[in-house]
């Protein structure tokens, strides 16, 4: 796995090993999917300057942190990575340290479906990549909205299994939806 664009383009990302510590259960977003996603964000979201430049990023179910790191590489102001798996947080920490992102990144040990109240400025770009087909994305979005984690007009990128049709929240509009191999990407905008 590598960073596919921006200032850190081509830099290697720490990835899950084949066994041990829970890391084998992580499913990082593939390089080609990340590249396609950031192209969509840069060119395909109407009525909006292209993210992630200057955005505050919330990476829920962050896993390796590849999406948040990619956003930081492409000019995001700050990224907060949320994951409750120790193996995931270790990989995120390794990536943040190895890429020199310590001052722009924060790692939270928290269940993304129970975020609680946001105690800082809300986020305007959210990545949501929960374990597939378990209904966790819906619960995490509800938690983020209830806790004040989402800025008005925030963009939400939701990755889910291609065969799953998640229930989209009433407070968000669907901006784009695409199938990419075994995954589907939905881009929502918070109203």
pTM of structure: 0.92
* β-bridge partners, 82: 60, 108
Q: What is the pLDDT of residue 18?
A: 42
Cα within 13 Å of Cα(61), Cβ side:
24
Instruction: Spell out the alpha helix ranges (H) of the chain.
Output: 31-43, 66-73, 86-98, 136-146
> Tell me, what's the pLDDT at 124?
95
Q: What is the rounded (10 degree) CA torsion for 31, 35, 37, 41? A: 150
Please report the pLDDT score of residue 19 as a whole number: 38
- Say if CB 57 and CB 127 are below 8 A apart: yes
Fill in the DSSP letter of residue 113: T
Q: Which structural domains are found in the chain, ordered by start?
A: 23-190 (3.40.50.150)
Which two tokens mark 47?
């009525």
Q: Is the pLDDT score of 170 beyond 50? A: yes
Omega of the bond leading into 174 within 30 degrees of 0 (cis): no
Query: Residue for token digits 């008005």?
Result: 152
Q: What are phi and psi of 128, to 5 degrees?
A: -130, 110
pLDDT of residue 30: 76
pLDDT 10s digits, 17-42 = 643 444 545 677 778 888 989 998 88
Rounded to 10 deg, the angle between the 31-43 and 66-73 helix axes is 50
């Amino acid at each position: 796995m590598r960073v596919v664009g921006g200032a850190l383009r081509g830099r290697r990302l720490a990835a899950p090993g084949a066994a041990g510590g829970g890391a084998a259960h992580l499913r990082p977003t593939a390089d080609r999917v990340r590249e396609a996603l950031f192209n969509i964000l840069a060119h395909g979201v109407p009525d909006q300057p292209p993210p992630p430049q200057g955005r505050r990023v919330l990476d829920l179910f962050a896993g390796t942190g590849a999406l948040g790191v990619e956003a930081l590489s492409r000019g995001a102001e700050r990224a907060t990575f949320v994951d409750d798996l120790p193996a995931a947080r270790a990989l995120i920490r390794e990536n943040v340290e190895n890429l020199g992102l310590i001052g722009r990144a924060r790692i939270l040990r928290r269940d993304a479906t129970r975020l609680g109240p946001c105690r800082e400025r809300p986020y305007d770009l959210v990545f949501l990549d929960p374990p597939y087909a378990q209904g966790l994305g819906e619960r995490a979005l509800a938690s983020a909205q209830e806790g004040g984690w989402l800025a008005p007009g925030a963009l939400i990128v939701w990755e889910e299994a291609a065969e799953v049709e998640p229930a989209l929240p009433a407070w968000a509009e669907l901006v784009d939806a695409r199938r990419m191999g075994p995954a589907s990407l939905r881009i929502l905008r918070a109203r």
